Amino acid sequence: MRSPLAWFRSRPLRSRLALLTATAVAVAVAAVSLACWLVTRAQLEGELDAALRRTQFTDQQARELLNSCGPKAGKPPGYPPYGSDTRQIVSADGVVCSLGTSKIPATPEDIAVVERQEPYALHTTTAEDGSQMRVYTYPVSDRTVAVSVARPLSEIDNSMSTLGWVLLLVSGIGVVGAGAAGLWVARAGLKPVDRLTGAVEHVAATEDLTVRIPVEGEDEIARLSRSFNAMTAALASSRDRQAQLIADAGHELRTPLTSLRTNIELLARSEQTGRALPPDDRRALMASVKAQMTELAALIGDLQELARPDAAAPGPLEVVPLHGILRSALTRARLRGPELTFVVDLAPWYVRAEPAALERALVNVLDNAVKFSPPRGTVEVTLMRGELTVRDHGPGVPPEELPHVFDRFWRSPSARSLPGSGLGLSIVARTVQQAGGSAELRAAEGGGTVAVLRLPGAPTPPPEGRSFAED
């Protein structure tokens, strides 16, 4: 058997809201009704006590009441007609002489008044006929007796019973009305949620990421709708970028694979026919195969780097010396351009980044400068206060092409004959942004291109034992 909590959780949201509303109203109405009932009863009891106090006799009337006690005694002179009131004399030994509808036994409170231990007594007791009575007892000044005046509590009980039924009826109507109002409010308030649910189900069923929910107002539902629209827009953009990446990767892979397949087929045909290729042609063919394999390996590595989500960090960030990593990248760049002259001016600067990814980005920037530098040209590398500039003296990039240099697979028409995949600068921009910096490529004065990387400094130097030299 399921628990009430499990049953409640299994209900639709509208039903739960209506039940919660009705429950809250029921608790509030019950608390108010109980408070009203208790306050009213206390007020009526106070009025009854005040009425009993007002019936106190004078000493002369009390003596006449005392003298009238006896088997044949009647009402004393001046005895007022109090209806259901009971008048009785209480002595120290508890003997009661009663004039009223029912005799009321003397209580210890009454005896304490007779013995002058208390100035008066006001209490509730049960008469001999079983009725509940409110009793007020006060002493007679010149006698060791007291007078008790009592009135039945049925006067209050009847009124309180009527009030209780009225409160119960009003409470029931209020709870039912609150439940209906809660259900109506839940239906009206959850209409935007229904639209959102329908949109999510539509996207899940059709994978249509163009769905947008109208946004109205500035409440939580509007925020949820905006968040959903932003999410679907981001998913659509991510899917488009993924499709574009696959298309561009296929296009870039097709060229080296076609060339590699052609060269391998030539080598295989030579072996099958027994007609050996001239040595110079064979060496050129093998060199071409090796270059195409290298190009494929580099392209696959770039694709793996770009396949990660943009928001995901490439690895644990560390405080590293940018100048040390740059010297390591310069060593590799000099091997690729031995005829070039590198003018280097590096000031110490520490950054928080992933070392391997940062070194790869710096190598890509330097390789780009080496690739477009003229023979025996000069590459100027400067690092000052977190700003790295790499300038070459090549043909430069036309102004209309500068906005596209960091796009994936984008290559200038003048550079399509050169080796490369068009992913190098994309990796640079991504790595620098993940480190909190920015990348820029602009035309240099006097010709050539300047790449500018700005990286924020780290608050502390790296720990001892770093693998990157600082000198």
- Res 79: pLDDT: 43
Place of tokens 């990348």: 439
pLDDT, one tens digit for every residue, the chain (471 residues)? 567 667 666 666 667 777 777 788 888 888 888 898 889 888 888 888 888 888 776 666 666 666 666 544 444 444 444 445 677 888 888 777 776 666 788 888 888 888 888 888 988 888 888 888 888 988 887 677 888 888 888 878 888 888 888 888 888 888 788 778 777 777 776 777 777 778 788 878 887 777 787 777 777 777 878 888 888 888 888 787 777 667 666 666 776 788 788 888 888 888 788 777 788 888 888 887 877 777 677 667 666 666 665 544 455 778 889 999 999 989 888 888 888 999 999 999 999 888 888 888 898 889 888 888 888 889 999 999 889 999 998 888 878 777 777 776 555 555 544 555 566 777 788 888 888 889 888 888 888 889 999 999 887 665 554 544 444
DSSP per-residue string spanning 135-178: EEEEE-TTSSEEEEEEEETHHHHHHHHHHHHHHHHHHHHHHHHH
Q: Taking the model in full, what pTM does it have?
A: 0.44
- Res 11: pLDDT: 66
Give all domains of the chain, ordered by start, each with its CATH number: 11-69+82-189 (3.30.450.20), 220-307 (1.10.287), 318-454 (3.30.565.10)
Which of 222, 163, 227, 168 lies closest to 200, judged by CA?
Answer: 227
Cα(first)–Cα(last) distance of the chain, in Å?
Answer: 76
Q: What H or E segment, with its residue span, contains residue 390?
A: strand 387-392
Sheet bearing 121-126, strands edge to edge:
96-99, 86-91, 145-152, 132-139, 121-126
Give CA angle at 444 (438, 450), nearest 5°.
35
- Res 471: pLDDT: 46
Compute the distance between CA of residue 154 and CA of residue 235 in angstroms, rounded to an integer: 76
- Res 391: pLDDT: 92
From the number of C-beta atoms within 10 Å of its C-beta (0-12, 13-18, 19+), residue 381 rates as buried
Instruction: Tell me if 457 sits within 8 A of 323, measured CB to CB.
Output: no
Non-local (6+) Cβ contacts of 425 within 8 A are: 364, 365, 368, 405, 406, 439, 441
- Res 84: pLDDT: 53
Within 13 Å, how many C-alpha atoms sit on residue 108's CB side? 0
- Res 16: pLDDT: 75
Compute the distance between CA of residue 169 and CA of residue 172 in angstroms, rounded to an integer: 5
Tokens of 318: 């560390």
Helix (H, G, I), strand (E, B) or coil at 392: strand
Instruction: Tell me if 250 sits within 8 A of 227, measured CB to CB.
Output: no
